[in-house]
Amino acid sequence: MSFDLVFFGGTGDLTWRKLMPALFQAWRHGKLPAQGRILAVARDERSDASYRQWLKDKLTSGDDLAKRPTEDEFERFAALVHYLRMDLSQPGDYAVLRQWLQTRQADTVVMYLATSPHLFPVICEQLGAAGLNHPAVRVVLEKPLGHDLASAQAINRAVGAVFSERQALRIDHYLGKPSVQNLMALRFGNVLFEPLWRRESIANIQITLAESLGVGTRGDFYDRTGALRDMVQNHALQLLTMVAMEPPSSADADAIRDEKLKVLRSLKPFDAASVARDVVRGQYRAGTVGGMSVPGYLDEAKVPAGSHTETFVALRCEVQNWRWAGVPFYLRTGKRLAHRHAEIVVNFRPTPHSIFPGTQPPNQLVIKLQPDDGLQLHLLAAKGALGPDLAGDHQAEHLSPVSLDLDFDKAFPTDRVGAYERMLLDALAGRLNLFVRSDEQEQAWRWVEPILEAWRHDGSGLKTYSAGTWGPAAASALVARDGFAWAEES
Ligand code: BG6
């Protein structure tokens, strides 16, 4: 298969931090089809050679030494990489792009829009006008897709006027994380868990996406966005759909996406009262993370004085259907938390009747997304080799917690691919399972809008938390109210 992969925003942060490194790894792993060309598009005047040199400086100074290319590897990879200067509002520049693409007819052309989303409509319109929306073309849209339902719908309409739904790939890189694939495998490739995967056996489910980093150099973007739009509307809700969905009838993209959409539609809607009760928002103050003193959000570069933007959200929600009625789902995400750590915790109910002494922690399944990637099942076991105790009580065997640990990095050491690598390869191959359909994305906006609305009318609820902690105390209280605790507190 031959492909042309065009990166709009070719000199932007996302391209050099995530996309090019992921492509390089795909190439290094021998997963990129041989007949490929990569074209970076941006506004500056550059030659192929100067773009390659710029890219080389970025890739060879990456934090992870094992991922840096050697001199020879970079030379061979760079032979695929080209550069084109474009003004995205100029039809003539799209004609030049068309000519470049027509120097050969690739089987697949992927246009990756790694630009600000306000440019998506104009880019799609111009691509369409230049005839660059034929069936071999797919367009990948990076988040954030809009800042509310209306703006997301406007973008989807503009994209939909040019590309069919199956040509438009909305990326949520959390779905590309290997553990999320394993959640599907665990649920639908094994018989063990499905009978227990319901309200009768599960007490609550917790999804935590914690970051230790602050807003870095993105203070202005982040301040307009906040944690609810940046992480909850997309990543956290997508993970929730993967946990809560019914078994799809096949692995076909739409069979899966139909089930995810049903979950989003079953989420109990918020109103002003439930937002005040069930949603906690916070903003970090100065503190210590990993032994280093770090400034508070209001002192970060490009953050306006007195900003009320939330850097932390914790919320309680419910999926209103037969499987999940009454089971709380707690979602939590934040910047500058104690450490970088993303996981889904499924807390099972206690045994209905105990024959063992002492209190026993119920079973817990932890799906670890990062930094490690694996599954942990917490069980209780008898240590064994205990005789009857002196009081002659033969039942006095105390149980001890043990865990079954599955470390996917160790189990499959050579087959692991990163989230962006996986998503890029899927985009090139036209595998749509992990991309978000427009109706899912709009439904997610519909669900978060009452929260945004309530916050607009009531600026008083913003709590503070010290950097390096697990967020405001109110987040613990939210879970404690139901008689539960966050995983790290239990
Ligand atoms: C992005 C958010 O979508 O995800 C960032 O915009 C966040 O603010 C990032 O830092 C987290 O991704 P990961 O894969 O590093 O957990």
C-alpha 236 – ligand 1 centre gap (Å): 11
Statement: residue 414 has pLDDT above 70: no
Name the least confident of 52-61, 71-80, 411-420, 440-449. Answer: 411-420
pLDDT of residue 395: 52
Range 484-487, long-range pairs (CB < 8 A, 24+ positions): 484/203, 484/204, 484/328, 484/330, 484/347, 486/206, 486/208, 486/330, 486/332, 487/206, 487/208, 487/343, 487/345, 487/364, 487/366
pLDDT of residue 385: 55
Q: Going by CA atoms, what residue is nearest to atom 2 of ligand 1? A: 230
Statement: residue 427 has pLDDT above 60: yes
Confirm if 58 and 10 have CB atoms less than 8 A apart: no
Q: Going by CA atoms, what residue is nearest to atom 13 of ligand 1? A: 174
- Residue 359 pLDDT class (50, 70, 90 cuts): confident
> What tokens appear for 145 in the block?
């897709």
As annotated, the active-site residues are 235
User: Which ligand 1 atom sits closest to the C-alpha of 218?
Assistant: 8
C-alpha 230 – ligand 1 centre gap (Å): 8
Q: Going by CA atoms, what residue is nearest to atom 10 of ligand 1? A: 211
Statement: residue 396 has pLDDT above 70: no
C-alpha 265 – ligand 1 centre gap (Å): 25
Ligand 1 environment, Cβ below 6 A:
143, 173, 211, 230
Phi, psi of 375 (to 5 degrees): -130, 140
Name the least confident of 61-70, 78-87, 436-445, 446-455. Answer: 61-70
| pLDDT, mean over the chain | 94
Q: In testing the pocket of ligand 1, which one of 231, 337, 369, 421 has its CB within 8 Å of the most ligand atoms? A: 231
Helix runs in 383-472, H state only: 408-411, 419-429, 438-457
pLDDT of residue 70: 95
C-alpha 235 – ligand 1 centre gap (Å): 9
**Domain spanning 3-170: which superfamily?**
NAD(P)-binding Rossmann-like Domain (3.40.50.720)
C-alpha 437 – ligand 1 centre gap (Å): 20
User: Which ligand 1 atom sits closest to the C-alpha of 173?
Assistant: 14
Statement: residue 394 has pLDDT above 70: no
Q: Compute the distance between CA of residue 40 and CA of residue 51 in angstroms, rounded to an integer.
A: 8
Q: In testing the pocket of ligand 1, which one of 212, 222, 230, 369 has its CB within 8 Å of the most ligand atoms? A: 230
- Residue 456 pLDDT class (50, 70, 90 cuts): very high
Statement: residue 189 has pLDDT above 60: yes
% the chain with pLDDT above 90: 84
Q: Going by CA atoms, what residue is nearest to atom 8 of ligand 1? A: 230
Q: How many CB atoms lie within 10 A of CB 479?
A: 21
Confirm if 434 and 426 have CB atoms less than 8 A apart: yes
User: Which ligand 1 atom sits closest to the C-alpha of 235?
Assistant: 3
> 3-class DSSP state for residue 34?
coil
Report domain extents, the chain: 3-170, 175-489
Confirm if 461 and 281 have CB atoms less than 8 A apart: yes
Task: Tell which wins on pLDDT, 385 or 54.
Answer: 54
C-alpha 360 – ligand 1 centre gap (Å): 37
User: Which ligand 1 atom sits closest to the C-alpha of 215?
Assistant: 8
pLDDT of residue 388: 53
Task: Tell which wins on pLDDT, 489 or 266.
Answer: 266
Task: Tell which wins on pLDDT, 211 or 416.
Answer: 211
Determine the Cα angle at 432 with ends 227 and 79, to 5°: 90
Residue 264: its H or E element:
helix 253-266
Task: Tell which wins on pLDDT, 266 or 383.
Answer: 266
Q: Compute the distance between CA of residue 44 and CA of residue 51 in angstroms, rounded to an integer.
A: 10
Task: Tell which wins on pLDDT, 294 or 393.
Answer: 294
Fold assignment, 175-489? Dihydrodipicolinate Reductase; domain 2 (3.30.360)
pLDDT of residue 389: 54
User: Which ligand 1 atom sits closest to the C-alpha of 234?
Assistant: 3
> What tokens appear for 382 in the block?
């008898």
pLDDT of residue 386: 55
> What tokens appear for 456 in the block?
């607009």
DSSP-derived letter for residue 106 is -
Statement: residue 393 has pLDDT above 70: no
